[in-house]
Amino acid sequence: MQIRDRIKELRRVKASQLRPHPQNWRTHPKTQQDALRGVLAEVGYADALLARELPDGTLELIDGHLRAETTPEMDVPVLIVDLDDAEAAKLLALHDPLAGLAETDRDVLGELLSGMETENESIQKMLDDMLAEPELQLDDPPIAGPPPEVDVPEAYQVVIDCGDETQQQTVYERMTAEGHRCRLLTL
């Protein structure tokens, strides 16, 4: 397999001059926005945004929309790629979901996070949530006999039916802003 290097250059550009991709399908809940602000405040920029140059010379974002929106007056690092419309759309659709396919080595994650400190509440909540995610045991052999008894603690939950995804997002953001631990569910 021959793999092409599509990166033309690294350029520093004022974030407000970057044009959002018209088909950007990712939305960013308040919890993510707050966590990003925390990381930018504690660490700074450590990754480049991804954009392509259009025929009129403007730069169209493929990845990094939230970072650009969060720091509009800042000169940010941007990798300029040589992609046509179809390739840019494909990367826009697949870039984040591809990263999401990675699996977690819980032991290594636990070790990594054990000594980590932050004063930012949004980052701390994100770290706590990462450690609290249940581990899937898909490769375990089936257990012979009846399943062991499990002590299930009491939990009080509310399910709210929403008319559409926008309403669901609004309710989610309001509840998380009030300090409730929420999970999104689409059936």
Mean pLDDT over all residues of the chain? 86
Take residue 135 and report the two structure tokens written for it: 């581990």
Largest alpha-carbon pair distance within the chain? 68
Kindly state the helix (H) or strand (E) to which residue 76 belongs, with its residue range.
Answer: strand 75-81
Domains plus CATH for the chain?
A: 7-100 (3.90.1530.10), 156-187 (no CATH)
Q: At residue 147, does pLDDT exceed 70?
A: no
The C-alpha atoms of residue 13 and residue 19 are separated, in whole angstroms, by: 11
On whether the CB atoms of residues 80 and 51 are closer than 8 A, the answer is yes
Q: At residue 178, does pLDDT exceed 50?
A: yes
Task: Please compute the mean of the pLDDT values over residues 29-36 and round it to a whole number.
Answer: 93
Q: At residue 71, does pLDDT exceed 90?
A: yes
pLDDT band at 140 (very low <50, low <70, confident <90, very high): very low
The CA-atom distances, in angstroms, between 137 and each of 103, 104, 134, 142 are 12, 12, 9, 11
Q: Is 162 exposed, middle or buried (0-12, 13-18, 19+ CB in 10 A)?
A: middle
| Least confident range of 14-23, 74-83, 101-110, 147-156 | 147-156
Q: At residue 108, does pLDDT exceed 50?
A: yes
Kindly state the DSSP code that residue 154 receives in the 8-state scheme.
-
Task: Please compute the mean of the pLDDT values over residues 94-115 and round it to a whole number.
Answer: 87
On whether the CB atoms of residues 33 and 64 are closer than 8 A, the answer is no
Q: At residue 152, does pLDDT exceed 90?
A: no
The pTM assigned to this predicted structure is 0.66
Task: Please compute the mean of the pLDDT values over residues 168-184 and round it to a whole number.
Answer: 82
Kindly state the DSSP code that residue 165 receives in the 8-state scheme.
H
Token match 């045991």: residue? 137
Q: What share of the chain is helix, strand, coil (3-state, %, to 5)?
A: 40, 15, 45
Antiparallel, parallel or unpaired: β 7-14 and 59-63: unpaired
Task: Please compute the mean of the pLDDT values over residues 5-26 and round it to a whole number.
Answer: 96
pLDDT at residue 88, rounded to an integer: 95
pLDDT at residue 144, rounded to an integer: 57
